[in-house]
Amino acid sequence: MSKIHVVTRVNDEKVEFLCEPQETLLDVLRNKLNLTGTKEGCATGDCGACSVTLDGRLVCSCLTLAAETKGKSVGTIEGVADGDTLHPVQQKLLEHAALQCGVCTPGYVIAIKALLEKNPDPSESEIRYWLAGNLCRCTGYDKIITAVQDLAGQSDKFKEVV
Amino acid sequence: MSDTHDYKQIGTRPIRPDGVDKITGRANYGADYSLPGMLHGVVLRSPYAHANIKRIDLGKALALEGVYAAVSGADFPDVAAGGMGGEGGGDFKDLASNIMARDKALYHGHAVAAVAATSRELAIEALDLIEVDYEVLTPVMNLDAAMAENAPLLNDKIYTMGVNPKPEQPSNVAARMEFKRGDIDAGFADAEVIVEGEFRTPTVHQGYIEPHACLATMNQGGQATLWCSTQGHFEVRTAVSKTLDMDVCDIKVIATEIGGGFGGKTVIYQEPVAILMSKISGRPVKMVMDREEVFRASGPASATLSKIKLGAKKDGTLTAMSCWMAYEAGAFPGSSMAPGAMCIFAPYKTDNFLIEGFDVVVNKPKVAAYRAPGAPQSMYACESLMDELAYKLEMDPIDLRLKNAVEKGDQAAYGPKFNEVGLRECLIAAKEHPNYSRELTETQGRGISVGFWFNAGMQSSAEVHINENGTVMVIEGNPDIGGSRASMALMAAETLGVPYEKVRVLVGDTETAGFTNVTGGSRTTFATGMAVIQASQDIISQAKQRAAKTWEIDEDQVDWQDGHAVPMPGVNADWEPLSLAKIAAKSGRTGGPLLGRASLNARGAGPGFSVNIAEVDVDPETGKTEVVGFTAIQDAGKAIHPAYVEGQLQGGAVQGIGWALNEEYVYDDKGVMQNPGFLDYRIPVASDLPKIDTVIIEVPNKAHPYGVRGVGETPIVAPLAAVANAVRSAIGIRVGELPLSPPRLLAAMDE
Amino acid sequence: MAKVFFPDHLMSYCKREREVEVQASTYRELVRKLGARYPGIEEVLLEDVAVAIDGEICHEPYMEKIATDSEVYFLHRLAAG
């Protein structure tokens, strides 16, 4: 089978790659573009460790075909911080000690940022249901939820939607 | 008792040193490493739960273009039987046979061959070309089947250990153990109330989010370098050395960042396979499990059956406790039955007890340690029955436990007398907690449980280097699984009197750090922390020497205060205090760089007790249990970084809630796991849970300079029974088998 | 004299005595003296057990100090999670 030529944008930069038709965005990010910040926990869309945005929409990169990103814009963990300044979501998660092993953390950063851009003032229940697709086995979720609550209601920080 | 020390940095909540790397995706975990020319290794796994392997032919796979190595059991060296150390640790010969089956496949998913090729897809294609002839045998899938008379045998060389005289027939029961004290019959005769119960727990998985991953390369001189996600790279080195018959000095192991372990990454699976295929191919080999392989062929924790009986006086005083308990070991002997047996009655003063434990092989993956290995299962049984005893005595469950709770000077059921322990403090904190007395609705229930784990010491090393500007580099050997760099930095900063922000911590590889046992056993902050403190004290003593040389006075005329060398009172007062930075800046002329070090075998780990309060709501229509409140109270000795201690309590609580309500391996009649993914093996998600309230009790452990006990394991012990007791309170029925899933509860309520 | 307590799994070595008194200042000396009394136990006590001396557990005992009033308990070595 011949490879597909894809031109897309990743973290606001033009990117080109060749991929197999069945190749996932996750595999291309990690193996072809060396963006290993996006993690694989299950490859079946159950754990959320591979969360990225596609044209601003939260998706599992393990369930997204790389070829689908043609002409679109992909946002990964590597593009979240603004130069040498951490994004408020990153800063708050650190301040609340909301990570232990940290392998699920990139997925959480992407998912939380997507939530707050859509709904800047979510209730605890809305936070918990939004994040139900991101598994964390270390923290019991408590400090992650608290960190997001700490950010809720600060809509000025989350105006810009990618 | 409370801690009266006035610490400047310990007990604060700074951002962890590795935080920015982990929050930005820069931190490299097991699967994130690559090397030029790297091959991808994959494993062929047995499609049968129990089968003799008659023949393996790798020829066609090897002939495929792009395949550079293919191996099966015959390609690995014979490994001599020998203990891996630690009860339940198993045997190196068994470890080797688990890594790659020899004559027999002992579970569905057991590795029987492996291939390394230029891409993962090609390697998977090559697996299809491997020919294996199996003679399929009857699988033995649970304790009842394994212990039945005339049960099919997994291994005809297993004769039950611990039975005197040695049995004449082989058996699936690998070991029997007995722990007892006093006169059990007299104790029950003395009882005014007796309760009995049977409790079962299912096979569960540790469920770390990062699958096992490694990258190996071996040079033509036989020297291997291995990157892997592990809780203990020195133990990986030992295990590789034993299973590949290599010299330890030819194996360098670099612990990558680790994406969770919970005990499941204290053992190895793919590492020797990757090294062997690198040796054969002359290229680096990377091996990463997928989630299905993680479920089918790594972990899990033992399924258990406990038959337990308690006797008490009407005032609640326990007179006798007995338990018959069997633990599934999986395919090879070595479950965590012994620590389970040692923990079960540990919280209580008890003159008469009898524990009989069995380690049983079944056709499931070989169990691995899972957070307080063995204790959650046995203490679920005991704490459930304690709850029934409280009902029968019409006594408050906390009062019943307070009546019998151990304290300093009491002899633990597992042998020694306790020093200071915080069980009573935890029970009192639970009783006084508002969550213990708030109103519940009709469908809600509340339960409590005690938890216990020994905590461990063992060997650790640490170095402390002082940079030329007085900043600090700590080198230690424990993979940071939950914030240990932060606690090491805090302890070094406190000891040296320098700001936390000026301390960096490196988790060294096996050639950089001194030998250090695993990140496990709740030992890291206790034992490695002790090494870091001692290495910091070594720096202080050297800094005082350097100051003495600078001032041309005797060393004993120099004191250390607040990060500075100062002259002792009465000594020439004109000298300005010398900071670590000033001493380090001129260390070249006083004897060279400042390098402190310590290595130790830490003794005196402080036992950790906890009390959990669970509040649940059980839907009478569906049988679904919702946890509406959860309170975790635990004696930490001293919380070095309280936020990460709370995190341990909360994370352990949620794993325990999952164990109680959702999680189990579901097998078909052929021994094939039916739910090897996170969709069907459902660990708790954020929307399943309430806030997890925490209370940290601090009864200092006198064996540690700052009073640390270790906190990682105890948190998973109490939630099982706390949730089960809350469900019992909500529905008025005791269901003695986990998980308390909706169909099981519905069936019980319909009866 | 230190008090030494034997658990069930060592009963076959110690002639089923549960508790003995031994004069020793280190663990090694204690083991040597027990070895003289109970042939075969020495290797087990050095290689296979953990010990609690006055409540402090040591995973791999060898040169630990024993006081005249110490209480010594032998335990299974434990796996860590």
Res. B9: pLDDT tops 60: yes
What is the average per-residue pLDDT within B71-99?
Answer: 83
Give a yes or no: residue B328 inside a domain: yes
Whether residue B338 and residue C74 make contact (CB cut-off 8 A), yes or no, is: no
For residue B584, give the CATH number of its domain: 3.30.365.10
Looking at the fold, whether B413 and B480 belong to one and the same domain comes out as no
Looking at the fold, whether B336 and B435 belong to one and the same domain comes out as yes
More confident residue, B455 or B285: B285
Provide the β-strand partners of residue B134.
B53
Nearest-CA distance from C71 to chain B in Å?
8
Whether residue B417 and residue C74 make contact (CB cut-off 8 A), yes or no, is: no
B336, closest residue in chain C (CA to CA): C79
Quick one: pLDDT band at residue B4, thresholds 50, 70, 90? low
Among B542, B576, B602, which residue terminates a domain? B602
* Contact between residue B427 and residue B398 where contact means Cβ atoms under 8 Å apart: yes
Residues in chain C: 81
Q: What amino acid is encoded at A31 in this protein?
A: N
Give a yes or no: residue B163 inside a domain: no
B375, closest residue in chain C (CA to CA): C81
Q: How many domains does chain B have?
A: 3
**Cα–Cα distance for residue pair B192/B335, rounded to 1 Å:** 36
Q: Break chain A into its structural domains and give their ranges.
A: 4-79, 88-156
Chain A contact for B416 (CB, 8 A cutoff)? no
Nearest to C12 among B164, B262, B371 (CB): B164
Pairing relation of β-strands C71-76 and C2-5? parallel
**Cα–Cα distance for residue pair B258/B520, rounded to 1 Å:** 13
Assign domain A88-156 one CATH number from 2.10.109.10, 1.10.3720.10, 3.30.200.20, 1.10.150.120.
1.10.150.120
Mind listing the pLDDT tens digit for each residue in B627-673?
Answer: 999 999 999 999 999 999 999 999 999 999 999 999 999 999 999 99
3-state SS of A124-142? HHHHHHHHHHCCCCCCCCH
Whether residue B415 and residue C55 make contact (CB cut-off 8 A), yes or no, is: no
Quick one: pLDDT band at residue B86, thresholds 50, 70, 90? very low
CA dihedral B337, B342, B345, B346 (to 10 degrees): -140
Give a yes or no: residue B373 inside a domain: yes
Q: Determine the angle formed by the axes of helices B529-551 and B484-496, rounding to 10 degrees.
A: 30
- Contact present, A and B (at least 3 Cβ pairs less than 8 Å): yes
**Cα–Cα distance for residue pair A39/A27, rounded to 1 Å:** 10
Looking at residue B100, its pLDDT comes to: 98
List the 696-735 stretch of B: residues with Cβ below 8 A of C: 703, 712-713
Cβ contacts (< 8 Å) between B659 and chain A: which residues?
A: none
Nearest to A97 among B210, B257, B647 (CB): B647
Q: Write down the mean pLDDT value for chain B.
A: 96
Chain A contact for B644 (CB, 8 A cutoff)? yes
* Contact between residue B614 and residue B589 where contact means Cβ atoms under 8 Å apart: no
**Cα–Cα distance for residue pair A130/B199, rounded to 1 Å:** 36
Whether residue B679 and residue A106 make contact (CB cut-off 8 A), yes or no, is: no
Cβ contacts (< 8 Å) between B457 and chain C: which residues?
A: 57-59
Give a yes or no: residue B582 inside a domain: yes
* Contact between residue A90 and residue A66 where contact means Cβ atoms under 8 Å apart: no
**Cα–Cα distance for residue pair B374/B454, rounded to 1 Å:** 12
Whether residue B369 and residue C60 make contact (CB cut-off 8 A), yes or no, is: no
Res. A63: pLDDT tops 80: yes
Res. C79: pLDDT tops 70: no
Nearest to A99 among B22, B211, B291 (CB): B22
Mind listing the pLDDT tens digit for each residue in B533-589?
Answer: 999 999 999 999 999 999 999 999 999 999 999 999 888 667 899 999 999 999 999
Res. B89: pLDDT tops 80: no
CA dihedral B642, B645, B646, B649 (to 10 degrees): -160
Give a yes or no: residue B426 inside a domain: yes
Whether residue A37 and residue B643 make contact (CB cut-off 8 A), yes or no, is: no
- Contact present, A and C (at least 3 Cβ pairs less than 8 Å): no
CATH 3.10.20.30 fits A4-79, yes or no: yes
Res. B3: pLDDT tops 60: no
Nearest-CA distance from A87 to chain B in Å?
9
Judged on CB neighbours under 10 Å (0-12, 13-18, 19+), A11 is: middle
Looking at residue B570, its pLDDT comes to: 83
Give a yes or no: residue B186 inside a domain: no
Radius of gyration of chain B (CA): 27
Percent of chain B past pLDDT 90, that is, above it, reads 94
Domains of chain C are 2-76 (3.10.20.30)
List the 656-675 stretch of B: residues with Cβ below 8 A of A: none
**Cα–Cα distance for residue pair B677/A43, rounded to 1 Å:** 10
Looking at residue B85, its pLDDT comes to: 54
Tokens 């299974």 belong to C76
Cβ contacts (< 8 Å) between B16 and chain A: which residues?
A: 94, 97
Give a yes or no: residue B727 inside a domain: yes
Looking at the fold, whether B674 and B563 belong to one and the same domain comes out as no
Provide the β-strand partners of residue B566.
B559
Query: Which of B640, B191, B279 has its CA nearest to residue A97?
Result: B640
Cβ contacts (< 8 Å) between B85 and chain C: which residues?
A: 77
Nearest-CA distance from C33 to chain B in Å?
21
Tally Cβ neighbours within 10 Å of residue A114. Answer: 23
Quick one: pLDDT band at residue B721, thresholds 50, 70, 90? very high
Looking at the fold, whether B615 and B661 belong to one and the same domain comes out as yes
* Contact between residue B261 and residue B481 where contact means Cβ atoms under 8 Å apart: yes
Among B602, B633, B654, which residue terminates a domain? B602
Among B85-94, B199-208, B608-617, the range scoring the smallest mean pLDDT is B85-94
More confident residue, B85 or B703: B703
Looking at residue C77, its pLDDT comes to: 79
Looking at the fold, whether B43 and B117 belong to one and the same domain comes out as yes
Give a yes or no: residue B142 inside a domain: no
Looking at the fold, whether B485 and B624 belong to one and the same domain comes out as no
* Contact between residue C2 and residue C21 where contact means Cβ atoms under 8 Å apart: yes
Q: Determine the angle formed by the axes of helices A88-95 and A105-118, rounding to 10 degrees.
A: 120
Instruction: Quote the domain boundaries for residue B597.
Output: 19-26+457-602
Cβ contacts (< 8 Å) between B338 and chain C: which residues?
A: 76, 78
- B54, B464, C21, C52 from C4: Cα distances, Å: 53, 40, 6, 10
Looking at residue A154, its pLDDT comes to: 82
Looking at the fold, whether B60 and B129 belong to one and the same domain comes out as yes
What is the average per-residue pLDDT within B431-450?
Answer: 98
- What DSSP string describes B363-392? SSPPP---SSTTHHHHHHHHHHHHHHHHHH
Looking at the fold, whether B522 and B619 belong to one and the same domain comes out as no
Tokens in use for B699?
A: 């009864």
3-state SS of B247-298? CHHHEEEEECECCCCCCCCCCCCCHHHHHHHHHHHCCCEEEECCHHHHHHHC
Quick one: pLDDT band at residue A162, thresholds 50, 70, 90? very low
Mind listing the pLDDT tens digit for each residue in B663-720?
Answer: 999 999 999 999 999 999 999 999 999 999 999 999 999 999 999 999 999 999 999 9
Looking at residue B2, its pLDDT comes to: 43
Looking at the fold, whether B77 and B109 belong to one and the same domain comes out as yes
Query: Which of B480, B527, B540 has its CA nearest to residue B504?
Result: B480
Looking at residue B82, its pLDDT comes to: 75
Residues in chain A: 162
Looking at residue B128, its pLDDT comes to: 97
Mind listing the pLDDT tens digit for each residue in C38-72?
Answer: 999 999 899 888 888 988 888 888 989 999 999 99
Query: Which of B683, B681, B695, B636 has its CA nearest to residue B657?
Result: B683
Looking at residue B1, its pLDDT comes to: 38
Looking at the fold, whether B392 and B285 belong to one and the same domain comes out as no
Pairing relation of β-strands B472-476 and A51-54? unpaired
Among B561, B578, B602, which residue terminates a domain? B602
Q: Give the H/E segment covering residue C63.
A: none
Whether residue B683 and residue A80 make contact (CB cut-off 8 A), yes or no, is: no
Percent of chain B past pLDDT 70, that is, above it, reads 98
Whether residue A41 and residue B679 make contact (CB cut-off 8 A), yes or no, is: no
Mind listing the pLDDT tens digit for each residue in A119-137?
Answer: 999 999 999 999 999 999 9
Nearest to A101 among B13, B258, B655 (CB): B258
Quick one: pLDDT band at residue B88, thresholds 50, 70, 90? very low
Pairing relation of β-strands B353-361 and B444-453? unpaired
Q: Give every CB contact of residue B67 below 8 A, 6+ residues apart in sequence.
A: B61, B115, B116, B117, B122, B123, B126
Sheet architecture: strand order including B131-136 = B104-105, B51-57, B131-136
Q: Give the H/E segment covering residue B604.
A: none
Looking at the fold, whether B619 and B645 belong to one and the same domain comes out as yes
Angle at B265 between CA B260 and CA B270, to 5 degrees: 120
Looking at the fold, whether B468 and B594 belong to one and the same domain comes out as yes
Chain C contact for B89 (CB, 8 A cutoff)? yes
**Cα–Cα distance for residue pair A159/B655, rounded to 1 Å:** 36
Whether residue A40 and residue B31 make contact (CB cut-off 8 A), yes or no, is: yes
Tally Cβ neighbours within 10 Å of residue B534. Answer: 20
Quick one: pLDDT band at residue B84, thresholds 50, 70, 90? low
SS3 B397: helix
SS3 B489: helix
**Cα–Cα distance for residue pair A82/B35, rounded to 1 Å:** 30
Looking at residue B407, its pLDDT comes to: 97
What is the average per-residue pLDDT within B452-464?
Answer: 94
Chain A contact for B67 (CB, 8 A cutoff)? no
Mind listing the pLDDT tens digit for each residue in B135-187?
Answer: 999 999 999 999 999 999 999 999 999 888 889 999 999 999 999 999 999 99
Q: Determine the angle formed by the axes of helices B375-393 and B397-404, rounding to 10 degrees.
A: 110
SS3 B162: coil
**Cα–Cα distance for residue pair A118/B96, rounded to 1 Å:** 52
Mind listing the pLDDT tens digit for each residue in B379-415?
Answer: 999 999 999 999 999 999 999 999 999 999 999 998 8
Alpha helices by DSSP H, listed for C19-65, are 27-37, 41-47
- What DSSP string describes B663-688? ----B-TTS-BS--STTTS----GGG
